[in-house]
Every structure is written in structure tokens, then in C-alpha cells.
């Protein structure tokens, strides 16, 4: 069993049943040969990797956060790397925050990337501009937040990389606005929600893993998410169960849990999961995008998909279940012994996927 401590030494990136190119390695990553073209970045990468090793419990830190007006939001975000570097936007999921990338970001910055890590709506320092805006958690709304952020930052294109809600957001942008997506890293593959499909029951073991989705469909679940203590314990339980091999400490969880104190957190989370089950309405302004997403549009941008072996939400088939949705340059990798919060559990492997996707 490969755990969080030993993963950086072996980086088991199997190709599985999907198309995969040979692994070329990254400078400074133990056990992986350095490609000739990477020598200029070796010193930077080695230093960033050393910092990652020093933060082996996921304690990597960001510089002071920034804010920018973007569409319906004032978005709080972390930024690392040179201002004119090739941009990478890292997108977190639930129940997580920007610190899922606290160790990934320095690795990418060391390679010369400008790394942007935003809080999604309802999280951390991100706020709605207007108190009258509906607190909507549907998938296209969150994707458009990211497009608005790119516009506000003056970014025509970026590599988009994420997991959970963040992977879904990146998938949607790559599918609907490919001209804005330089390359894609998607943990879990093709995560675009199809509301009609979501009405059908899954295998019992899969339904069991989604217990909180059904809990949030009830008023008991809504009340729990609005109660600080119950929300804290619920989200901690999710961390423990979906990342069974990750040896994080209390301080690591508490740092992320602070992002859940956002005044719109409960509303966004509850609406997101109820909308997925067709128990809550979306907004008319997003209907054109949802109609396009309902057709399961293919993704043609260069893509690396990552599956985490110990993630209870990883679909069977080693990537084969969603392979047909990716029609451009493509690689698939399965990470042995890793759970749901893949970027924080295996930051070197995630950073490597970003750099490799940008070279496909």
C-alpha cells in the first residue's frame, strides 16, 4: 500500500486501459528520471519539492491572498509564480478549499507558471457583490465564475486543473469554451452532471458513499450545514472516509474548515447537491449552458485524467467509462493508495500531470 509519505518516492502513474504516453519525469522528483529539456528548472523544482517534503502533512502555506471583482463575485484567491508565466488555475472541491493546492502551487511556480488558486463561490474570502443574487450552486454558474475570473485577470487561456467540484468546473470550461483552456487536468475524469441520468439509482455501495448528498436533500441536513459544530464534524467525517490512507493532522483540517465560515457556504452547498438530484431549480440565465451540457459534449483540449484508487467515487474501468468524452491528446493515470483529495495527498503527481498536460 502506497501512503502519502512514500508516494513521492515512487510516483506510480499507471496508464491503465486508456491511451497513455511514456512518463518522462520531472526534475527533483525522487525516483523519476529528469528529461533533458527540464535542466533549467531543476534547481527551482528541487527547492519547491523540498518545501513540499517539509510540509508532509499538507501544511504548505500561501502568500497573502488577493481579491478581484469578477462577474457576480469578489473572488478571493492565492497567486504564486511570475506574473508573466504561463497561467494555471487550480480549482478545489467540497469539502475542501484552496489549501488542497498549497503544495502543488509552489511546484508549478518553480517551473515558471503563474498559479491562480481561487476560492469557489460560498468559500473562504469569496463574496457575492449583491445580497440579492440567488445563492446558486449549479455547475454552469460555478464554471462561469471561473471564466469571469479569467476575464478580470486578463487571461485569454489557462491550464485548468481540479478535483471534485473543481474538476467538474474545469471540464465544463474545456467543453463549452475550449478557446479558454490551454490544457486540462481532471481528477475523476468526465464529471459533467446530467440531471436525467442522475435520477437513476446507482449500485448500493456507490449510493452509500454519497450519503451526505441525500442528507443535504433534507431539512435536517440543511440545518446541520448551518450549524458550525455539526458542519465541522460532518465535513471532518467526509475527509476521514474518502481519504482513508491520508495521514493529515487536526491543524490541516482546521485550516481548511475556516473557509466554511463564509456566510453563503451552507446555501451554496445545499443548493449544489439538491440541484444535482433535481430537487432544487436552477436559474433561467444558465439554461442555455445546461442544455448544451446535457448532450455530454466532448472535450478536445489536451487532457490528463487522474483516478485515485482509494477514492470511493472513482468509477470502475480505469478510465474506460469516460474515455470517449476526450477526443484530443490524452493520458490517463491511476494513483495507487491515494484518496479523494488527490492534490493534497499526492502534490508531486498532480503537479506533474499539469506540466505533462501542457506538453501533450
Query: Contact, 86 vs 115, CB < 8 A?
Result: no
As a three-state string, the secondary structure of 88-129 is: EEEECCCCCCHHHHCCHHHHHHHCCEEEEEECCCCCCCCEEC
User: What is the pLDDT, as a whole number, of residue 64?
Assistant: 96
**The three three-digit cell numbers of residue 43, written as one number:** 534547481
pLDDT, residue 124, reads 98
Beta bridge pairs of residue 118? 77
For range 309-318, the mean pLDDT: 95
| 216 has a pLDDT exceeding 60 | yes
Per-residue pLDDT reduced to its tens digit, 156-198: 999 999 999 999 999 999 999 999 999 999 999 999 999 999 9
Residues 6+ positions from 308 with CB-CB distance below 8 Å: 187, 188, 314, 334, 335, 338, 339, 340, 342, 345
> What is the bridge-based pairing of β-strands 303-308 and 181-187?
parallel
DSSP designation for 159? E
The reported pLDDT for the residue numbered 14 is 32
- Look at residue 61 in the predicted model and tell me its pLDDT: 87
C-alpha cell at 299: 472535450
Which long-range contacts link 40-43 to residues 24+ away (Cβ below 8 Å)?
A: 41/110, 41/111, 41/112
Sign of CA dihedral 55, 243, 240, 219: positive
The pLDDT value recorded for residue 59 is 66
Its pTM stands at 0.86
Cβ-based burial of 11 (10 A; exposed 0-12, middle 13-18, buried ≥19): buried
Question: Residue 27 pLDDT > 80, yes or no?
Answer: no
Q: Tell me, what's the pLDDT at 90? A: 99
Give the pLDDT of residue 47.
46
Contact 9, 30 (CB under 8 A): yes
> Distance between alpha carbon 22 and the CA centroid of its chain, in Å?
24
Whether residue 24 is predicted with pLDDT greater than 60 in this model: the reply is: no
Distances (CA, A) of 72 to 29, 127, 146, 153, 270: 40, 9, 11, 15, 19
In percent, the amount of the chain with pLDDT more than 90 equals: 82
Apex 299 CA angle, 339 and 290, nearest 5 = 90
The set of cell numbers assigned to 201 is: 439509482
Mean pLDDT of 21-26: 36
Task: Spell out where the chain has E strands.
Answer: 13-14, 66-70, 73-80, 86-91, 113-118, 127-128, 158-162, 181-187, 303-308, 330-335
Task: Encode pLDDT of 288-307 as tens digits.
Answer: 999 999 999 999 999 999 99
41 pLDDT exceeds 80? no
Tell me the per-residue pLDDT of 97-149, one tens digit each, with 9 for 90 and over. 999 999 999 999 999 999 999 999 999 999 999 999 999 999 999 999 999 99
Q: How far apart are the first and last CA of the chain?
A: 30
Identify the band that residue 38 occupies on the pLDDT scale cut at 50, 70 and 90. very low
User: Mean pLDDT, the chain, as a whole number?
Assistant: 88
The confidence band for 250, taking pLDDT boundaries of 50, 70 and 90, is very high
- Taking alpha carbons only, the member of 175, 194, 310, 304 closest to residue 246 is 310
Helices 219-226/228-242 angle, 10° precision: 100
Q: What is the mean pLDDT of residues 247-260?
A: 97
How many Cα neighbours within 13 Å face the side chain of 101?
30
Question: What does the pLDDT average to over 243-250?
Answer: 97
pLDDT confidence tier of residue 58, bands split at 50, 70 and 90: low
Task: Give the per-residue pLDDT at 275.
Answer: 98
User: Given the DSSP bridges, would you call strands 86-91 and 113-118 parallel, antiparallel or unpaired?
Assistant: parallel
Residue 126 Cα to chain centre, angstroms: 17
pLDDT value at 60 more than 90: no
Amino acid at each position: 500500500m502506497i501512503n502519502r509519505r512514500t508516494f513521492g518516492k515512487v510516483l506510480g502513474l499507471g496508464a491503465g486501459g486508456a491511451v497513455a504516453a511514456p512518463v518522462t519525469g520531472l526534475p527533483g522528483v525522487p525516483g523519476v528520471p529528469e528529461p533533458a529539456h527540464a535542466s533549467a528548472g531543476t534547481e527551482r523544482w528541487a527547492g519547491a519539492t523540498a518545501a513540499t517534503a517539509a510540509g508532509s502533512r499538507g501544511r504548505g502555506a500561501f502568500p497573502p491572498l488577493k481579491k478581484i471583482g469578477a462577474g457576480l463575485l469578489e473572488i478571493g484567491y492565492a497567486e504564486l509564480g511570475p506574473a508573466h508565466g504561463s497561467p494555471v488555475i487550480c480549482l478545489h472541491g467540497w469539502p475542501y478549499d484552496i489549501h488542497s493546492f498549497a503544495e502543488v502551487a509552489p511546484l508549478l511556480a518553480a517551473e515558471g507558471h503563474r498559479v491562480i488558486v481561487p476560492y469557489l463561490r460560498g468559500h473562504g474570502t469569496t463574496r457575492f457583490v449583491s445580497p440579492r443574487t440567488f445563492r446558486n450552486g449549479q455547475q454552469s454558474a460555478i464554471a462561469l465564475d471561473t471564466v469571469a475570473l479569467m476575464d478580470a485577470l486578463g487571461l485569454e487561456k489557462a491550464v485548468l486543473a481540479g478535483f471534485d467540484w473543481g474538476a467538474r468546473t474545469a471540464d465544463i470550461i474545456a467543453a463549452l469554451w475550449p478557446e479558454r483552456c490551454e490544457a486540462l487536468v481532471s481528477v475523476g475524469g468526465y464529471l459533467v452532471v446530467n440531471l436525467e441520468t442522475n435520477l437513476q439509482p446507482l449500485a448500493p455501495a456507490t449510493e452509500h458513499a454519497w450519503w451526505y448528498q441525500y442528507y443535504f436533500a433534507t431539512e435536517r441536513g440543511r440545518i446541520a450545514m448551518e450549524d458550525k459544530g455539526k458542519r465541522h464534524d460532518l465535513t471532518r467525517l467526509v475527509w476521514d472516509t474518502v481519504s482513508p490512507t491520508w495521514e493529515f493532522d487536526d491543524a490541516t483540517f482546521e485550516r481548511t474548515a475556516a473557509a466554511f465560515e463564509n456566510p453563503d457556504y451552507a446555501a451554496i452547498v445545499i443548493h449544489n447537491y439538491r440541484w444535482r438530484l433535481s430537487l432544487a431549480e436552477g436559474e433561467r440565465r444558465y439554461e442555455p449552458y445546461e442544455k448544451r451540457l446535457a448532450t455530454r459534449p466532448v472535450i478536445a483540449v489536451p487532457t490528463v485524467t487522474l483516478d485515485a484508487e482509494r477514492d470511493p467515487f472513482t468509477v470502475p474501468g480505469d478510465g474506460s467509462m469516460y474515455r470517449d468524452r476526450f477526443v484530443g491528446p490524452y493520458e490517463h493515470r491511476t494513483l495507487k493508495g491515494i484518496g479523494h483529495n488527490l492534490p493534497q495527498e499526492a502534490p508531486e503527481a498532480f503537479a506533474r500531470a499539469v506540466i505533462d498536460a501542457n506538453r501533450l
